[in-house]
Amino acid sequence: EEAGSFRWVQLTYPHGGKLELIEPAGEDSFLHEFLERRGEGVHHITFMVQNIEELVQHLKAAGYRIVSENYQNPEWKEAFISPRSAHGTVVQFAESCLSEAEQDRVWHPDLEALLRGEV
């Protein structure tokens, strides 16, 4: 699926684990700078939480550097910890008012359609 400046596909494993593969889409993608600086590999780890704004306040109080916060969309609120505060890895915290099944329907394309190039 394409989401602005990157394309992605997500693989779901038993017991809730997921692996998301992302690549730049277009020359202005933020991922180009990341790849130039760090090379291929893990971009970020995501943790789903119940109250992201409260969590972020606790993280800031504990000295973690938050580099991005977006609470505008109740379907997907997110915040990122700087790699400098997390041993070199971007850490994303997210909260959604949607159930896991609703998230899959809204954001994840049909794999067969994706493989056929229809998405």
**Is the pLDDT score of 65 beyond 70?**
yes
Q: What is the CATH number of domain 6-115?
A: 3.10.180.10
Residue 35 has pLDDT above 70, yes or no: yes
Q: What is the pLDDT of residue 31?
A: 85
Domain ranges of the chain: 6-115
Query: What percent of the chain is modeled with pLDDT above 70?
Result: 82
DSSP sequence for 30-82: HHHHHHHHH-SS--EEEEE-S-HHHHHHHHHHTTPPEEEEE-S-TT-EEEEE-
